[in-house]
């Protein structure tokens, strides 16, 4: 068995597995997907004797993250042939994709789960995506009034966009990747520092004790050898920074030596207030 990215001219080979697994998608939609999205996305596959038996697609997007343009991949078409399931193929593909995106300094990745339980072992968590009506056609200036992460509808977006009936409510899950690129847009109400131990079972660069230094609208993680004030998993860190977990809900807080001081510091962090992502694929 071989795990690799398909060359662009091979992308059409993955269509057979797509149609085998995603039987609910109309043929016209699949035609549009392979003509538009698969023209320049990244398709990671597992092959057995030349046959594609498992795959995931990395569809590129650009997001406005607190006024800064950042790249992030939307993971879609995660699929395995029925006869090859429960052999760890999805785990192998997801693990490689996460590590590759971290190396490319992507701050986060996201997906729309068929079942949340499939992705929680990989430290994906719901991101609190908004579902207000009438936002699908809003421009960036309008979205920036209420949202701190939203899709930039630039020229690349227009070129790759599939004009298909879209929905207002999208239960997206997020996974933090390259932490320096994510936390640099996370500030605090005042300058402060926090010694935090981050635990990431997949991305080793995120593991360790860091001095989390906040200055205005920015922050940075500096690796240090010190006793942490709090321990946080990468999944809980994502939930906290996306406003899905309050400081008092972080499991590591109860084990802190000085939970009250740590809670006060966490409460001063400017977590993300408003996420709007409404994309089909």
77-136 tens-digit pLDDT: 999 999 999 999 999 999 999 999 999 999 999 999 989 999 999 999 999 876 666 777
Question: What percent of the chain stands above pLDDT 70?
Answer: 96
Domain spans, the chain: 2-177, 179-268
pLDDT of residue 166: 60
pTM of the model: 0.95
Contacts of residue 218, defined as CB under 8 A and 6 or more positions apart, other chains included, come to 184, 185, 186, 187
Question: Which residues sit opposite 276 in a β-bridge?
Answer: 150
Cα(202)–Cα(206) distance, integer angstroms: 9
- Interval 157-167 mean pLDDT: 82
- Interval 236-262 mean pLDDT: 96
* 222-234 b/e (C-beta count within 10 Å ≥ 16 → b): eeeeeebbbbbbb
CATH topology of domain 179-268: Nonspecific Lipid-transfer Protein; Chain A (3.30.1050)
Asked if domains 2-177 and 179-268 share a fold, the reply is: no
pLDDT of residue 114: 87
Task: Report the top-level CATH class of 2-177.
Answer: alpha beta
Question: Does residue 264 surpass a pLDDT of 80?
Answer: yes
């Amino acid at each position: 068995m071989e795990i690799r990215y398909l060359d662009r001219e091979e992308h059409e080979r993955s269509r057979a597995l797509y149609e085998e697994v995603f039987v609910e998608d109309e043929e016209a939609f699949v035609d549009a997907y392979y003509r538009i999205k698969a023209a320049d996305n990244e398709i990671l596959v597992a092959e057995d004797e030349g046959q594609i038996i498992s795959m995931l697609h990395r569809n590129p997007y650009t997001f406005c993250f607190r006024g800064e343009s950042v790249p992030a991949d939307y993971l879609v078409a995660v699929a395995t042939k029925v006869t090859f399931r429960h052999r760890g193929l999805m785990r192998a593909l997801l693990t490689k994709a996460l590590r590759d995106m971290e190396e490319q300094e992507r701050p986060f990745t996201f997906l729309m789960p068929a079942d949340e339980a499939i992705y929680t072992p990989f430290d994906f968590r719901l991101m609190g995506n908004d579902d207000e009506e009438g936002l699908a056609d809003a421009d960036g200036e309008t979205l920036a009034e209420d949202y701190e992460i939203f899709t930039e509808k630039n020229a690349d977006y227009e070129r790759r966009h599939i004009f298909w009936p879209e929905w207002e409510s999208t239960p997206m899950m997020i996974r933090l990747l390259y932490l320096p690129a994510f936390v640099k847009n996370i500030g605090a109400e005042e300058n402060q520092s926090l010694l935090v131990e981050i635990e990431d079972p997949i991305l080793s660069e995120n593991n360790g004790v860091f001095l989390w230094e906040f200055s205005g609208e920015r922050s940075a993680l500096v690796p240090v050898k010190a006793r942490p004030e709090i321990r946080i998993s990468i999944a809980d860190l994502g939930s906290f920074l996306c406003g899905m977990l309050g400081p008092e809900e972080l499991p590591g807080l109860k084990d802190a030596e000085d939970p009250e001081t740590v809670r006060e510091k966490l409460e001063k962090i400017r977590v993300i207030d408003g996420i709007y992502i409404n994309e089909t694929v």
